[in-house]
Amino acid sequence: MNEPRANDHIPSAQALSRIRKYVEKYREKTGTSAHPDPEVTEGVVLGLAAHIDEFGRPLCPCNFYPDKSAELATSRRWVCACDEMKRYKYCHCLLFVTPEGLPVTEYLPEDHEGREVYGLVKAPTPEQGP
């Protein structure tokens, strides 16, 4: 895994524990899996935990925000689990995926960029909703 840069926030043990438990429970709830490359998961978990320390909420670390505080004040859209995950079972961060490491795309609108990039990827557990 990459070494943290000087300006990276090293998350607290409490935030890391909190987000790891959340991710595990949400995977159970949605029937999704961890990415087969542990570094993918670890990078997202570290970013979410750092945002818990900094903002008190797990803001998605995979997006660019001109002002993170403003994003949190005006929207829940990118707070994990984000709106796309809750609505379509689609995780652009690859935190909640199929066993092969692909995001579920079958519930996305056909013109969604996730569908264009990954094609049709069926949910491994369709009986378990987002």
Catalytic residues: 62
Q: How far is residue 63's CA from residue 83's CA, in Å, rounded to a whole number?
A: 13
